[in-house]
Structure formats: C-alpha cells, structure tokens
Structure 1
Amino acid sequence: MNRILAAMLAAASCATMAQAQVGPSAPVAQDAPVYTLDQAVSAAGGSAPAAEAATAGIDAARAGRTVAGLRPNPVVQGQVENVIGSGPYRGVRSAETTVGFAIPIELGGKRGARVAVANAQLSRAEIQAAIIAADVRLQVTQLYVEAVAADRRVMTARDQARIASDALRAASVRVQAGRASPLEQQRADVARINADANVERQLRLAEAARANLARRIGRPIDGLLDDTLLDRLPDVNVYGPLAPVNTTGTLALAAANADFSIAEAGVRLARANRVPDLNVGPSIRRLEATNDMAAVFSVSIPIPVFNNGRAAIAQATAQRTQADAQRRVTALDIEQAITDAQAQAANAATTARAASGPALAAAQEAARIARIGYREGKFGQLELLDAERTLAETRVAAIDALANYQNARAQVERLTARAPNGGNQ
C-alpha cells in the first residue's frame, strides 16, 4: 500500500510541476530572450521625462553662457534743439538736429564675471543630469528586482500549491484505507484551497510589478527577466568592518560644490557691477539756420549715488557663505548616508545568505522528512502541515532577503555614484 501511495504522489508531483513551469498563466514564453537590467535602464534613460528635463536644462545653461558673453547693443539716439521758442527760435528756423549712436563700454570685468557665472551654472546643470540618470537607474533597478522577486514568488506559490494537492491526495488515500480520520482530508483540502488562492494573489502582484517596470521604461517587456540577479551575493569576506567613507567626487557633494561655485562667481559679478560703465558715441549735428553740419562726441557715466552696489555685494557674499555651509552639511550627510547604506547592505547580505542557504536547506529537509513520515504513518497531519508552512514561509523570506540585498546594493551604488569629470569644481 505504501508503494502504491508513493507512486501516486510521484506521478502527481511530476505532472503538477510541469504544469507550473509552462502553465497558461506564464507571462512570457520560456524560450524568449532574457531582458536584462542594463537593457531596462538604457530604455528608461531614453524615455524618462526627468532625463528630458535635464537635457533641456543643459541646453538652457549653454544658451545662457552664450548670452552672458554677448556685449551690450549700441543705442541710436537723436534730438532736435532750438525749436518752437520765441524770437529767432520761433518755429524751426534755428533748429539744430543731432543724430548719432552711443556705444556702452563695460568696465570692471562684467562680461568675464557673467561668463563665469554661466559656466558654473552649466556645470551644475550637467551634474543635475547625472543625478537624474543615477536616480532613474536606482528606480529601474528597484522595479526590476521587485518584478524578478514577484516571478519567483509565483513559482514558490505554485510549488506550494502542488505540494498541497499532493497532501490532499495522500490524505484521501489514507481516509479511504481507513488509516485516518476524514478530518485530515478536510484539513488538507483547506490547505489546498488557500495555496491555490495564494497563487492567484502572487500572479496579480507579478503582473503589477511587470506593468510598473514596463511603464517606467516606456515599452513592453518582451522577454524573460534575469532571474539569476537575485542570487548574486557577495563573498563572505566582502563585508567586513566598515571602512572610512570618502565622499570626494560623489554626485551629492559635486552638486553642493557647484552651488558654491555659482555663489562665488556671483560675488565676483556683484563686485564688477559696482564699476560704472561708459557710454560713448559720435553724432552728426545739422544747423538749420546755416545749413551746416558738425560732429558731436558724447561721453556719459552714471553717478552711483542711490545704488553704489554695496548691498548687492553683501547679498552675494551672504549667499556664498550659505552655499559653503551647505556644502559642509552635505559632506556630513552623505558620509552618514553611505555608512548607513553600507551597513544595511552588509546586513542584508548576511540575512540573504542565511535565508537562502542553511535556513532554507533545513526547512526543505524538515518538510521532506515530514512527507515521508506522514506517508508511512509515523507523523501526524499537523506535523506535516506545520513543516510545509515553515518551508513556504522560509522560501518567501529567502526571496525577500535576496531582494532586500539587491535594493540595498543599488542604494549604495546610487550614493557613491561619481560625478562627471570627477566632480571637480
């Protein structure tokens, strides 16, 4: 009788396993090409609205640098004197008409100061584009990891449903043979119903995860996802004692340095604006009374009485001090964030290695022994159900731990991402 029962269970196990692997609910064909994480990141980088905004920001900064290097436009001016008066100036008989133009001459290095501000703003725009690209990579990585983990949860749920169906058949055989109470069959049926319902739930979550990933990358996912991504754990000795953090060249610190460079260039521009500009230009004057022509040369310079530029310099200096303080705060914050992220990644790696290794192996062995003992009448159904429940929970915990490590590793890579040109400002 035991041999017949074992044969029935083996045949049912093979059939349900094959159905779980190539069932109609599979999202893509099993022979489809693997759609890698790098492909997803590349697709998202080209379709993300944030990346488009960053590109437009760089274009605007380059145009601003061109504008900053332009010289002031000349001014055409004209005037008519000695008209509509009294005596000999009645009417326009004594009119003097002057036509000419004035050329503004910038002094104090204003043009160079404006260009320096524009260059600093362009560098900041390029760093912002790198920040957005790093953020997009982090977001896509997290969505990709979640989609892979969701697919693996579906496989686990299907396997648990297969095991529950096998347990139900075993309980039915035991009840029909008079070796067990009908209550065992009812318990097994409840476990099978719950397992099937869990498959449906996990399928919906997997579809949602794939839809979110496809929405982020701006295209449908044609192939299988790289399931091996979750299993890429570091060596045991990779995460030892935390090393000192070097934030030089990171995106966050480069952005703070760029803000300081803009503020510093603003101080130079404010100082240059204190120097008054000259307006010079030749003109031609026509004397109506004698019909003669004469040349006129004009020079004008503003008198800094009400606005001498000191307030603008004080404002720019305060902004530079603020940017310098913010730069130091950013350095401290990024050091703390990297330290915390590295610790979380190390802990996640330890948890993932244990959950997917010894803990999972022990749970699988316990469930195997419980199945054999239940078929041979050595263990009761409650022991079997408890072992199967422990195995299911351990498998899900292993998937969660592997996904948590991959997300933690991606977070570390985001925080330590290097700025373009090394972040030197």
Structure 2
Amino acid sequence: MSRAASTVGHDRPRTARELGIMQGFPPPPEKRPTLENWDLPPFNRWSFQNIRSLFPTVGINRGDGPVFDLPQALRPFDDFRFEAPEGGEKTVAQCLSDTYTDAFLVLHKGKVLTGSYFNDMSPATPHLSQSVAKSVVGALIGILHADGVLDLGAPLGDLVPELKRCGYKDATLNHVLDMQSGVRFTEDYGIPGSDMTRIDIASGWRPARKGEIRPTIRDVILTLPKVRDHGVIFEYRSIETDVAAWVAERVTGASLAQLISDRIWSRIGAETEAFFTVDAAGTALADGGFNATLRDYARFALMMAEGGKVGDRQVVPETWVESLRRGEADKFGAPYTDLSPNGAYRRHWWIRDLGRGDFMARGVFGQLLYIDPDNRFVAVKLSTWPDYLIPTFGQYEMRMIEAIRDSL
C-alpha cells in the first residue's frame, strides 16, 4: 500500500497555507521547498502552483485570438454518491478532498457542469501537469504528421543523426509514441541512479551529485542502449516523449514551445500563456514540464473530445484523434491493467476502455484529463497527492468521474 492510501476517508488534507509552506517574509527555512523535496509532501501542495518561482521556463504564447468561451450549466455534484472500490459509497466532495485535489472541472456537450478550486488555487493559477504533457506533445506530433512534416516510420537516426549513437537509432516515431521501443529506461521515481532520476537531474528538477556536471536532457538520451527488439511490448517510459520532441524540433527548425503555441495553444482559444520548464540548454521537459490553468486544460481536452476541432477549425486531425481510441491490448499488461483492465496505450494517450474508446492524459501525483468523445464528456482533475503513484486514489477518481458521466 502506498504511504498515502490510508488517508482516504480521514481528515481533510491541509492546504499549503495551513501547512505554513512559503508563508512569511521571509518564510522560515524549513518551510521552503528545495530541489530535494519540492515535489514531495508537504511542499508539492505549494510548488505545483508556483513552478516559475522554482525553475527556468519558456512560455507558450496563446496568440491574439479571442478566448474560447466555456458556457456554464452548473449542477450540484458535491453530494452525488458513487460506489467506492472497497464497497460502500462516497460523495464527490469526499473524494475530491481525500485525493488532495487542487482543481476539478467537468464539461458535458461543451458546457461546464461543475468547476471547483482548492488549496488556494484560482482560475488564473497555472498548475504543473506532469505526464499530461506527453499527451499535448502527442497531439502536436499528429498535426505535424498530417502536414507531411514527420514520417512516423522513418528510423529516428535518419531524422536526428545524433540518435545513431544510442538505442533509438533504428526505432521509429511509431515506436516511441506507443512506448514500444526496445530501449532501456528505468522509470523509477526518486530512486538514486535510475534513468528517471537522471532525467530529473538533467532537467534541473533534482540537484546534481557532488562533483558531477549536470547533463542536459539530450545528453541522457544518448546514453540509453537498446535491450530488446522494438515494437514487442508496451512499457511506460517518460523519455520516449523527449525523443519525439527532439525529432519535431530538428525536422521543423522550431522549438517545442513555439510549435505548441503555433499549432495548438493559439488555436484552442486559450485564456492564458502556458509554459514548460527547461534545462540548461533551453530544452523543454517534454515528458512532464508543461503548466497551464484548469480552464485551458479543459479547452485542450474539449478540443480532443470534439474530434480535434474548436468550432469550425480543425486543430488536431480527426483521424489522429480517432486513432487514439484503438490500441493493442495484447501488449498492455500489468501493472497498467490494474486501473484499466481493458485498456491500452496509443500515441501518448491512455485508453481507458477499448470497447468504449474513452481515453486519458495522466500524470503522477494525480493529474488527469478524461475524455469520452461519444458522450461529449470531459473531466479535468489537478492534484498534489502525497506520493508519485497511489493506486487507491486512481481507482477513486475513475469511479467518481465515470459515475458522474453515467448520470448525465
């Protein structure tokens, strides 16, 4: 059991302000996040809403177009009950509190049914998305592919010659988008020496070890070997998104932030600028460093729910969005099937149920965009769980969201 699983049903988690995090002028040293602890409890309750106070970033311009309106048809859901995984019932309000929610929003047929903020978050507050960033990048790759810019089947070493020095030389974008390359990457969070920790250090999210020079994200990519044939099995590895982003930048000659601004953010009617954290070379952390406001995450998710369209404008190709609803179940096994027994992974999106075709963007510490195109239903949940992965919390959230969806 995760160390936080037992908190469900107990006292309400305290806010960053109540915990004293970054309170005072100046805050006491023990209440200031550091590179060692900024994303861990209790400090993440503050830091996920204040990333630009901690790290260098690059902005993603919203453009000068009008803001896409999200009309409201508000309904009270706080007392709405759903069946808990362990039996019995929970209310929506209890679930949101118990799972350390910072913000929650539900859209149905383009209208906001409920939207709530917690932990001093506001409509103007950008929130770290963690691996929801991967799905934003996946959508961008679909746009560039439809434009004829990217060949999904070309060896990556032909597109970025430096990649010939590592295990990605003969992998393709198809492989990395579905996370089916045969390249080694240990996705162990917070474990010294793991590949994930090496990326955290390279991206500036963790301190470099004493006496060592901090590498860049792409320095780490070039150290990764091939350990099996490509295309054999799905294995979740964050680095695959950073590889895809490198290819997109090299082929287009534009930065990831500029590409997302030009191709997505300026076209969905976003309300505010989004941003990525960047490493010492100015490289965006494509796999987890994306930040935006709750309502702008909702606009992005709504666009995907509407077949890639915003009004009459096609942003992401409809065929690409439809492809996200079909995956290879035979390559998708434990532990991923614990949350989605009939699921799969496709082009940087999680398929919740292959029969329904609903899909999700997910990030550690409880970030979630849930999309059910057939029901024109979207849910966005931003959180600061007290651990990277808490399976119990994930089960609660999905039970709650699907119960709301099925009630409409």
Higher strand share: 2
Bucket of the pairwise TM-score, normalised by the shorter protein: under 0.3
Q: Structure 1 or 2: larger helix share?
A: 1
Q: TM-score, normalised by structure 1?
A: 0.17
